[in-house]
Amino acid sequence: MGSEGLASRRAAYRVLRRVHTDGAWSTPAVDAAIGRLGPRDRAFAANLAYETLRWEGTLDWALGHVLSRPSIDEDVRDVLRLGAWQLAYGATPAHAAVATSVDLARAEVGAKVTGFVNGVLRALARRWDALPWPDEATSEGLGLATGYAPWIVAEARARFGGQARDVLEAGNVAPGVTLRARGDAEALAAELTAVGLTPTRGALSPSALRVPGADPGALAAVAEGRATVADEASIVVAEAAAAAAGPGGRLLDACAGPGGKACHAADLGARVVAADLHEHRARRVAELAATLGLDVPVAVADGTAPPWPPGGVDAVLLDAPCTGLGVVRRRPELRWRRTAGDPAALAATQRALLAAAADLPRAGGALVYAACTWTVAETTAVVGSFLARRPDYAAEEAAVAAGTALPDGPGRLLRPDRDGTDGMYLVVLRRS
Ligand SMILES: C[S@@+](CC[C@H](N)C(=O)[O-])C[C@H]1O[C@@H](n2cnc3c(N)ncnc32)[C@H](O)[C@@H]1O
């Protein structure tokens, strides 16, 4: 069968099943599912899986309008979602999208559901344009048009106003590969060019290289530890943390797992101690540091009750647990896993982490707060309430040049729509 045949659709189906039944993240599930396919089938299957996960809310809403019975088995629902995405957004002709979905249903679920799948998808193809799509001025309408839950649209409007749609749509663009050069970035760029790639220097950091189409796992520089894979927003955070600690300064990375920023800061000369609440996350930091030949002591510790003495470090990096709405480009399913109460719930943890970390830097030291999200609650609101309680701290706005300043509080936001990076909030808080 051709590149858009049954094998690639079965692979995409397996990804959806693992994401929905095992709670798997899509990227490892895709990597596992497409391994045996040829290159074109791999690309088709990966795109079909990621896109179907991204547009799940819209697909379910539309399917809800044509399904004759409200409850259907989840495995059949995943077949229908894949078919519906192809009908609504894919390049496959409608008759082929329906026929291959019927084949998929037969292969994965059984012959008994083929008639049902055929009927539902034919009805959907006929009725898609005439469905009662809500006005895009409403959160539900813009959510259906951009592939997000209404609460995320409301959060985006609260944060970005009239630019909310730009940010939401940028979150639907698959991110390219960015590498962090651990040595001379110019030499790394030449090495990558020599193997047929077209690297360009990042706009925000001298060590970032954007490398479209690269397979990091196949690059000698990555295998040999001369480069790591890192989004440019994360690169900027690690640089800010190392700078805040000062040359050779002591930096505690209190939420360090899996360790990309801790190792980057160590590369920049900071004396880093890394900690994470979760043992398996702490272990990943230790493994990464060992792979990169870095001396980074790692502890398992709760940042809300830190076991370190006050005043013992030059800076603390709090790369806080958050809703992750800034990384939906690489984790499309995240938008359906998070719920409307999560920003407030995570903000409570973030406030506790900031409060507990505040005594750790020496006088004149710094707290660097970062979160890969953009909700008001987890960014300016958390930091605003911290500053109100700790008059010995002030935001050091000049410490971060990248990104966009915010109208409602300190810090800057790196934006997928403007910077081509993950969404990332970053602020340096200097202790007097
Ligand atoms: C955004 S991730 C950090 C990413 C990391 N800085 C990097 O660049 O690889 C947040 C981390 O905080 C950890 N975490 C969550 N709650 C924590 C707590 N109370 N104390 C310490 N770490 C915590 C999570 O296990 C997770 O690894």
Ligand 1 atom nearest to CA at 285: 9
Mutate to test the pocket of ligand 1, among 255, 263, 287 (most ligand atoms within 8 A of CB): 255
Q: How far apart are the first and last CA of the chain?
A: 68
At 1, is the pLDDT very low, low, confident or very high (cuts 50, 70, 90)?
very low
Q: What is the mean pLDDT of the chain?
A: 97
From ligand 1's centre to the CA of 163, what distance in Å?
30
Domains of the chain: 6-130 (1.10.940.10), 139-170 (no CATH), 178-229 (3.30.70.1170), 232-431 (3.40.50.150)
pLDDT of residue 68: 82
Task: Judge contact between 298 and 275, C-beta under 8 A.
Answer: yes
* Span from the CA of 337 to the centroid of ligand 1 (angstroms): 18
pLDDT tens figures, 370-419: 999 999 999 999 999 999 999 999 999 999 999 999 999 999 999 999 99
pLDDT category of residue 4 using cuts at 50, 70 and 90: low
Cβ-in-10-Å burial (0-12, 13-18, 19+) of 282 comes to: buried
- Between 103 and 70, name the one with better pLDDT: 103
One-letter amino acid identity for 194? Answer: A
Grade residue 2 by pLDDT with cuts at 50, 70 and 90: very low
What span, in angstroms and rounded, lies between the C-alpha atoms of 127 and 117? 15
pLDDT for residue 175: 92
Question: Atom 10, ligand 1: which residue's CA is nearest?
Answer: 321
With the most atoms of ligand 1 within 8 angstroms of its CB, the residue from 261, 267, 276 to mutate is 276
Cα 118-121-126 angle, rounded to 5 deg = 120
CA nearest ligand 1 atom 27, residue: 257
Q: pLDDT tens for residues 283-335? A: 999 999 999 999 999 999 999 999 999 999 999 999 999 999 999 999 999 99
| 263 classed as catalytic | no
Kindly indicate the confidence band of residue 3, based on its pLDDT and cuts at 50, 70 and 90.
Answer: very low
Q: What count of other Cβ atoms lies within 10 Å of the Cβ of residue 82? A: 28
Omega of the bond leading into 258 within 30 degrees of 0 (cis)? yes
Give residues (CB < 6 A) around ligand 1: 234, 254-261, 276-278, 281, 302-304, 319, 321, 372
pLDDT score recorded for residue 306: 98
Per-residue model confidence as pLDDT tens digits over 160-207: 999 999 999 999 999 999 999 999 999 999 999 999 999 999 999 999
Q: How far is CA 265 from each of CA 175, 236, 401, rounded to the nearest angstrom? A: 24, 10, 18
264 CA distance to ligand 1 middle (Å): 16
List pLDDT tens digits, range 253-292.
999 999 999 999 999 999 999 999 999 999 999 999 999 9
Average pLDDT, integer, range 86-99: 97
Residue nearest to atom 17 of ligand 1 (CA): 277
pLDDT value for 305: 98
Residue 276 Cα to ligand 1 midpoint, Å, equals: 6
pLDDT in tens, 34-63: 999 998 999 999 999 999 999 999 999 999
What's the pLDDT band for 31 if we cut at 50, 70, 90? very high
Which residue, by CA, sits nearest to atom 13 of ligand 1? 255
Q: What percent of the chain has pLDDT over 70?
A: 99
CA 176 to ligand 1 center in whole angstroms: 24
